[in-house]
């Protein structure tokens, strides 16, 4: 898109604010024809008269996730089904997550299923932490299937619903000394004896984290219990 087209589109948007509804009605076709995503989003947000379906058509054709996302937040009328379908078809995990935070008409089950297919552990974790509605059973299963130790750890630390027993088994399978150690510092339930065996077995990658267990208050207290029970 040339600067002259963008400039003209924004000019029409601003004139619509200044001159009112009649101007908007007379010039919406030209605004949409110019296909500038920012100007279309702004007109849909601030004009009293706007064709929201045609505006969304243009944003989808332009393939601009930012302004589709913003439109879903601020437009008076928005087709949420078409918006989420765009994010799913384009495989955009970031905006599937963001829309779940801000869209009033978001389909949380559909969004979570899509994040699972994309194997985006990061966005599943943030969905569980920040979405208004979240299926923790499904989200947990997806996280375990993806088996990313970083976000298994974070979910255990921050989700309000979490199956620690199953998660410990899956986290230990990753043999990640860093996140096994970190889980021991923050999880409400943890198998310290089992974790210590893995930290000891991972001779090279576990070296740094074996040292840290003697520096962390929670770990030191649990180590003392392990040693006392072994006598």
DSSP string, 97-130: HHHHHH-TT--HHHHHHHHHHTT-HHHHHHHHHH
Cα four-point dihedral sign 138, 140, 145, 150? positive
Tell me if 83 sits within 8 A of 74, measured CB to CB.
no
The C-alpha atoms of residue 163 and residue 227 are separated, in whole angstroms, by 27
Residue 126 tokens read as: 């943030």
What is the chain's alpha carbon radius of gyration, rounded to the nearest angstrom?
A: 25
Task: Of 144, 152, 223, give the one whose Cα is nearest residue 182.
Answer: 152
Region 103-109: what's the mean pLDDT? Answer: 98
Q: What is the pLDDT of residues 178-214, one digit of tens each?
A: 999 999 999 999 999 999 999 999 999 999 999 999 9
How many Cα neighbours within 13 Å face the side chain of 33? 6
Q: What is the pLDDT of residues 58-88, one digit of tens each?
A: 999 999 999 999 999 999 999 999 999 999 9
The C-alpha atoms of residue 112 and residue 57 are separated, in whole angstroms, by 25
């Amino acid at each position: 898109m040339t600067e002259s087209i963008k400039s003209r589109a924004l000019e029409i948007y601003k004139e619509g604010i200044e001159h009112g509804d009649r101007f908007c009605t007379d010039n919406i076709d030209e605004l949409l024809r110019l296909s500038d995503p920012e100007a279309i989003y702004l007109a849909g947000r601030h004009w009293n008269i706007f064709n929201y379906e045609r505006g969304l058509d243009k944003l989808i054709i332009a393939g601009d996730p930012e302004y589709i996302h913003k439109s879903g937040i601020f437009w008076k009328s928005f087709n949420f089904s078409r918006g989420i379908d765009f994010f799913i078809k384009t495989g955009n995990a970031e905006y599937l997550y963001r829309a779940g935070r801000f869209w009033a008409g978001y389909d949380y089950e559909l969004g979570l299923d899509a994040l699972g297919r994309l194997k985006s552990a990061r966005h599943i974790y943030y969905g569980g932490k920040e979405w208004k509605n979240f299926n923790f059973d499904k989200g947990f299963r997806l996280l375990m299937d993806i088996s990313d130790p970083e976000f298994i750890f974070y979910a255990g630390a921050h989700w309000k619903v979490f199956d620690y027993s199953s998660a410990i088994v899956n986290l230990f399978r990753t043999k990640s000394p860093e996140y096994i150690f970190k889980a021991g510092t923050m999880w409400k339930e943890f198998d310290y004896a089992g974790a210590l065996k893995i930290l000891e077995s991972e001779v090279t990658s576990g070296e740094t984290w074996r040292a840290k267990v003697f520096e962390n208050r929670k770990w030191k207290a649990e180590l003392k219990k392990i040693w006392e029970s072994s006598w």
